[in-house]
């Protein structure tokens, strides 16, 4: 079994999923499309496709031409029923591929550790509680694609997570732990300053909450990959 992860920024990687996949003895590869990388083997040679976050908008394919290539890969994954997980930008891209609108959020950015509410049910998320603290970093949002099941919402944005057939879109960063959040805090200091974000927002998760999140993300990825 092998997983393909499309990465847009070096430090915005699979996070805790790297550890999970290693423990399950599942291989993973990164495809850094902004660097010009393209697939060297058929998409169906992978057991799943994960599209990670990034600074660009899902509607900016005219500016970032590699997004057009990614949209084609996502469409192929959907057509061939290859499990597809979109995180943050990846979720917005999935929503767009499924025909939904993606646009700048009218209620401002969500940055830091914040609560999401479980508003729907699906076997992938059976073990998830009704409230969960997760890491957020986004300004755009999307409409729920037709035929998709909404699973998570937040106070600001109702579409935080959805399932469509074998595909999952998560607006929040289920792959981020406190260590990775701190790396992002250092790397994106200017945006944090511009947005007036309290730096403490990057540490406002307890050890117990972080441990729970890691257990839940492990359970999710197992169900998602069918292992």
- Token digits for 78? 């959907």
Q: Please report the pLDDT score of residue 34 as a whole number.
A: 98
Q: Please report the pLDDT score of residue 203 as a whole number.
A: 87
- Token digits for 56? 């660009």
Q: How would you write the pLDDT of the chain (227 residues) with one tens digit per residue?
A: 999 999 999 999 999 999 999 999 999 999 999 999 999 999 999 999 999 999 999 999 999 999 999 999 999 999 999 999 999 999 999 999 999 999 999 999 999 999 999 999 999 999 999 999 999 999 999 999 999 999 999 999 999 999 999 999 999 999 999 999 999 999 998 999 888 988 887 889 999 999 999 999 999 999 999 99
Q: In the chain, what are the domains? A: 2-225 (3.40.50.880)
CA distance 22 to 5: 14
Residues that are catalytic: 88, 173, 175
CA distance 162 to 115: 16
Q: Please report the pLDDT score of residue 63 as a whole number.
A: 97
Chain centroid to Cα 68, Å, comes to 18
Q: Please report the pLDDT score of residue 144 as a whole number.
A: 98
3-state secondary structure (DSSP) of residue 165: coil
The alpha carbons of the chain give a radius of gyration, in whole angstroms, of 16
Q: Please report the pLDDT score of residue 39 as a whole number.
A: 97
- Token digits for 123? 């076997």
């Amino acid at each position: 079994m092998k997983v393909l992860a499309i990465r847009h920024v070096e430090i915005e990687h699979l996070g805790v999923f790297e550890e999970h996949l290693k423990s399950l003895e599942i291989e993973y590869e990164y495809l850094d499309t902004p660097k010009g990388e393209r697939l060297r083997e058929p998409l169906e040679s992978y057991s799943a496709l994960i599209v990670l976050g990034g600074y660009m908008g899902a509607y900016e394919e005219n500016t970032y031409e590699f997004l057009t290539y990614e949209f084609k890969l996502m469409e192929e994954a959907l057509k061939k029923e290859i499990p597809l997980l979109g995180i943050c930008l990846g979720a917005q891209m999935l929503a767009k591929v499924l025909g939904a609108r993606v646009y700048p959020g009218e209620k401002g950015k969500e940055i830091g550790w914040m609560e999401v509410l479980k508003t729907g049910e699906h076997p992938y998320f059976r073990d998830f509680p009704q409230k969960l603290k997760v890491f957020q970093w986004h300004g755009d949002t999307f409409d729920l694609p037709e035929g998709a099941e909404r699973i998570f919402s937040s106070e600001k944005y109702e579409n935080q997570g959805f399932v469509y057939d074998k595909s999952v879109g998560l607006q929040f960063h289920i792959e981020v732990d406190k260590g990775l959040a701190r790396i992002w805090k250092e790397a994106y200091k200017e945006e944090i300053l511009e947005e007036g974000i309290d730096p403490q927002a990057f540490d406002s998760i307890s050890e117990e909450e972080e441990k729970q999140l890691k257990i839940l993300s492990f359970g999710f990825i197992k169900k998602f990959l069918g292992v």
